[in-house]
């Protein structure tokens, strides 16, 4: 860690972990409800649970991104954070708005728009909070001694993500129009600007962990950014197929969204090539594992499982079913959850001075959570295919199909238990690091050569 002010990242990482635990609890509530044990129904009906589960996901990932930016930007710019006091204010206001929003969902204070349920007054507070965050980041970047491509890609991803929140705040009476703009936020986030954030953080981690020249890594970054925008912007059309919009979206959405996996494939090839090119090995093996798994699993979850239902004739049947949940889980896990865990695994030893680089707990956390999430995805896939067949081909009622898919949720719960054990071990390692301290100041990466010379 170069500067004391980078320590603020710890607050955001800790909040991330806390919210992830809550998200998992709501996941289990829904998993049991699908199995027929909707025991909390009176207090937490399914729609409340799903809303809370998804919004907690968005908030913990955003908290992770913010922590990552507070750690990376000062390091890349070679300048302390613009203001630690303001960053602390931003943290606490972010956390408080998040808590109020989640509590509000339980008393029906929401907008009812999937993923963007936070009610309007809180939306304004979120907007103010994010502006403060961006001011701190941009001022640090501008005042910095150097401005790297990596830090600009990361920062522009964050700026665009904030701008794209705005279309989701406009209210329309017509649900088709409302849904049209909701996708500007949801789709253009995960299949557009968040990919810049992902590219930026991955590039930073690869520079640090492989020892490959910055110039080489940043050239790849341009390719990934190019592929993302080329496919992702018009790829939004895969949400406009049968929603009341013009029919040309069938063609445009079909073609461009089918190209989207290329951007994720680019990310995978990028990470693996840099790893193989690297002539040095950073001792932090856990951070390297998470970095590579982000690049690989995002391609599987977002790229391949996205492709599986992105063509109009398929989406006609799968839209809004558990097939979507199958893809949603592995895509979010591979691309954004693993990314946050990767930057945390890299930054925590440098912030605290404790070299937990390759311990048993960390390795088990990696494998249990990944295998658990793959198994969960498989259970959702089995349930999803059965649901599509029963509901949309055989024509059974929703609840009849739900009854038939119960056994798959038993499997889901088993898989989710393994996943949760993995996350539990990750958090246990996180706690072992302790708090950031000044002893860690000035500790730079220590490489060890691949072969003894």
Q: Tokens standing for 339?
A: 């990314």
How far apart are CB 199 and Fe ion at their closest, in Å? 18
327 binds Fe ion (CB under 5 A): no
- Which of these segments, 113-121, 159-167, 180-188, 214-222, binds Fe ion (CB under 5 A)? 180-188
Q: Which of 75, 76, 191, 391 binds ligand HEM (CB under 6 A)?
A: 191
What DSSP letter does each residue of 33-50 carry, written as one string? Answer: HHHT--TTTTTS-HHHHH
- Sign of the dihedral through C-alpha 108, 114, 119, 122: positive
Q: Which of 419, 426, 430, 433 binds ligand HEM (CB under 6 A)?
A: 419
CA distance 333 to 352: 26
24 binds ligand HEM (CB under 6 A): yes
Interface positions, 167-186, toward ligand HEM (CB under 6 A): 186
Strands 448-449 and 280-281: antiparallel
- Which of these segments, 93-101, 185-193, 360-368, 400-408, binds Fe ion (CB under 5 A)? 185-193
300 binds ligand HEM (CB under 6 A): no
204 binds ligand HEM (CB under 6 A): no
Tell how many helices (H) and how many strands (E) occur in the chain. 18, 2
Beta bridge partners of 281: 448
CA distance 427 to 443: 24
| Close Cβ partners of 27 (under 8 Å, ≥ 6 residues apart) | 53, 416
Closest CA to 402 of 386, 414, 413: 386
123 binds, among ligand HEM, Fe ion, none (CB under 5 to 8 A by kind): none
Tell me the per-residue interface mask from 232 to 271 with ligand HEM, x by CB under 6 A, - otherwise.
------xx-----------------x--xx----------
How far apart are CB 182 and Fe ion at their closest, in Å? 11
28 binds ligand HEM (CB under 6 A): yes
Tell me the H-state helices in 144-238.
149-163, 175-188, 194-210, 214-235
Q: Tokens standing for 87?
A: 């960053």
187 binds Fe ion (CB under 5 A): yes
Burial of 220 (0-12, 13-18, 19+ CB in 10 A): buried
Put residue 353 in one of left, alpha, beta given phi > 0 → left and psi -120 to 50 → alpha: left
Nearer to Fe ion, 182 or 187 (CB): 187
Interface positions, 48-77, toward ligand HEM (CB under 6 A): 50, 53-54, 57
Nearer to ligand HEM, 30 or 118 (CB): 30
Closest CA to 9 of 204, 224, 160: 204
416 binds ligand HEM (CB under 6 A): yes
Distances (CA, A) of 419 to 22, 208, 376, 384: 14, 28, 8, 20
368 binds ligand HEM (CB under 6 A): no
- Which of these segments, 67-75, 128-136, 285-293, 330-338, binds ligand HEM (CB under 6 A)? 330-338
309 binds, among Fe ion, ligand HEM, none (CB under 5 to 8 A by kind): ligand HEM
How far apart are CB 257 and Fe ion at their closest, in Å? 7
Q: Tokens standing for 234?
A: 């018009």
Q: Which of 2, 11, 329, 408 binds ligand HEM (CB under 6 A)?
A: 329
Give the CA count within 13 Å in the CB-facing half-sphere of 391: 23
Interface positions, 279-298, toward ligand HEM (CB under 6 A): 298
Residue ranges in contact with ligand HEM by CB under 6 A: 24, 27-28, 30-31, 34, 50, 53-54, 57, 114-115, 186, 190-191, 238-239, 257, 260-261, 298, 302-303, 306-307, 309-310, 315, 319-320, 324-325, 327-329, 331-333, 335, 337, 416, 419-420
């Amino acid at each position: 860690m170069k500067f004391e002010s980078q320590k603020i990242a710890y607050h955001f990482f800790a909040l991330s972990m806390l919210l992830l635990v809550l998200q998992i609890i709501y996941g289990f509530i829904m998993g049991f409800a699908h199995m027929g044990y909707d025991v909390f129904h009176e207090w937490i009906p399914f729609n409340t649970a799903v809303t809370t589960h998804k919004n907690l996901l968005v908030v913990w990932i955003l908290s992770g991104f913010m922590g990552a930016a507070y750690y990376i930007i000062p390091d890349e710019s070679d300048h302390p954070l613009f203001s630690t006091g303001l960053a602390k204010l931003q943290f606490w206001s972010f956390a408080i708005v998040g808590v109020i929003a989640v509590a509000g969902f339980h008393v029906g204070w929401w907008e009812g728009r999937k993923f963007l349920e936070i009610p309007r007054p809180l939306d304004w507070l979120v907007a103010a909070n994010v502006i403060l965050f961006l001011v701190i980041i941009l001022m640090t970047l501008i005042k910095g001694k150097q401005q790297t491509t990596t830090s600009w890609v990361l920062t522009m991803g964050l700026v665009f993500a904030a701008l794209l929140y705005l279309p989701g705040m406009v209210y329309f009476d017509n649900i088709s129009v409302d849904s049209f703009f909701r996708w500007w936020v949801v789709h253009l986030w995960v299949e557009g600007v968040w990919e810049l954030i992902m590219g930026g953080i991955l590039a930073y981690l690869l520079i640090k962990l492989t020892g490959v020249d910055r110039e080489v890594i940043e050239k790849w970054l341009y390719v990934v950014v190019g592929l993302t925008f080329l496919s992702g912007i018009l790829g939004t059309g895969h949400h406009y197929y049968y929603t009341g919009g013009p029919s040309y979206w069938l063609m445009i959405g079909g073609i461009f969204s089918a190209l989207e996996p290329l951007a994720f494939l680019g990310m995978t090839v990028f990470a693996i090539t840099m790893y193989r090119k690297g002539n040095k090995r950073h001792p932090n093996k856990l951070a390297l594992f998470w970095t590579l798994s982000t690049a690989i699993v995002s391609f599987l979850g977002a790229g391949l499982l996205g492709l599986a239902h992105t063509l109009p004739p398929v989406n006609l049947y799968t839209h809004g079913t558990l097939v979507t949940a199958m893809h949603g889980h592995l895509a979010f896990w591979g691309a954004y959850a693993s990314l946050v865990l990767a930057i945390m695994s890299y930054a925590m030893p440098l912030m605290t001075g404790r070299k937990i680089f390759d311990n048993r707990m960390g390795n088990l956390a990696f494998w249990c959570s990944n295998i658990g999430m793959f198994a969960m995805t498989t259970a959702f896939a089995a349930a999803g295919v059965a649901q599509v067949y029963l509901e949309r081909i055989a024509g059974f009622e929703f609840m009849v199909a739900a009854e038939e898919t119960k056994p798959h949720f038993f499997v889901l719960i088993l898989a989710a238990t393994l996943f949760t054990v993995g996350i539990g071990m990750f958090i246990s390692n996180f706690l072992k690091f302790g708090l950031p301290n000044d002893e860690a100041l000035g500790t730079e990466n220590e490489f060890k050569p691949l072969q003894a010379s």
